[in-house]
């Protein structure tokens, strides 16, 4: 079981979009691929994403969770391409099950994973191959919650994530502002996105990646 987190902002946006009524989110690695896919789909389609943090020409939406309102999202299929998060989702898609996590649905993901017998891999989206503070923090929160449920075997990465949560978990929003990704968003004026990403347990849904075609759908609540 893989759990993918890209707190700033792809997985926060995906959870928000599904909560707002999107039927499915189709992650795309490349911008042109996303444009072509959106054109090819029937029904109500939204094209969203970013490069360098900024919205893309001709796209309906950027990558700010606040844009994904019920009025915009209801019954839509969202085609999403982001710098790191959608690639992390694609990278994880060979796992038996791939869940999408953010702070906004942390408790729901933890409850879904309770009693899971298979190894759980938490995949943090990386910026230029470097771990992002906010994603390791999310991983640490997951490890702490799963570890509290019963005996677990942790690898060194999980121990590092736990240490990160121990040091930075007492103030999520401050941690999200402190990290390199948060600082870049603040410089671009996306303060609101950081507040949204720090909205712990705002939603109770668990998204999962499905294949053929590759898409993210809500599995809990059914």
* Contact residues: a second copy, CB under 8 A: 130-133, 136, 155-157, 159-160, 162-164, 166-168, 178-181
Compare residues 94 and 130 and give the one whose CB is closer to a second copy.
Answer: 130
Compare residues 41 and 178 and give the one whose CB is closer to a second copy.
Answer: 178
Beta strands in 6-101 (DSSP E): 24-27, 45-49, 77-81, 98-101
Dist. CA 152–CA 149, nearest whole Å: 9
Dist. CA 47–CA 77, nearest whole Å: 9
What minimum distance in Å lies between the beta carbon of 222 and a second copy? 36
Contact of 76 with 23, CB cutoff 8 Å:
yes
What minimum distance in Å lies between the beta carbon of 109 and a second copy? 22
Contact of 4 with 125, CB cutoff 8 Å:
yes
Compare residues 41 and 160 and give the one whose CB is closer to a second copy.
Answer: 160
What minimum distance in Å lies between the beta carbon of 133 and a second copy? 4
Compare residues 113 and 137 and give the one whose CB is closer to a second copy.
Answer: 137
Dist. CA 90–CA 186, nearest whole Å: 27
Q: DSSP string of 57-69?
A: TT-SB-S-GGG--
Contact of 88 with 100, CB cutoff 8 Å:
no
Compare residues 99 and 164 and give the one whose CB is closer to a second copy.
Answer: 164
């Amino acid at each position: 079981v893989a759990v993918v987190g890209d707190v700033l902002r792809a997985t926060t946006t995906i959870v928000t979009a599904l909560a707002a009524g999107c039927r499915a989110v189709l992650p795309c690695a490349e911008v042109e691929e996303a444009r072509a896919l959106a054109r090819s789909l029937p029904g109500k389609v939204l094209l969203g994403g970013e490069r360098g943090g900024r919205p893309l020409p001709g796209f309906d939406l950027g990558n700010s969770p606040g844009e994904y309102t019920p009025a915009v999202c209801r019954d839509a299929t969202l085609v999403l391409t982001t710098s790191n998060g959608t690639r992390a989702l694609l990278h994880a898609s060979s796992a038996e099950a791939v869940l999408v996590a953010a702070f906004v649905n942390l408790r729901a993901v933890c409850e879904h994973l309770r009693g899971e017998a298979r190894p759980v891999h938490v995949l943090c989206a990386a910026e230029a191959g470097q771990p992002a503070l906010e994603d390791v923090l999310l991983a640490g929160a997951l490890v702490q919650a799963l570890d509290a449920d019963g005996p677990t075997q942790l690898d060194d990465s999980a121990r590092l994530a736990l240490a990160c949560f121990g040091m930075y978990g007492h103030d999520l929003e401050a941690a999200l502002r402190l990290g390199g990704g948060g600082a870049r968003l603040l410089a671009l004026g996306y303060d609101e996105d950081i507040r949204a990403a720090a909205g712990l347990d705002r939603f109770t849904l668990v998204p999962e990646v499905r294949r053929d075609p590759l898409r993210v759908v809500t599995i809990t609540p059914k």
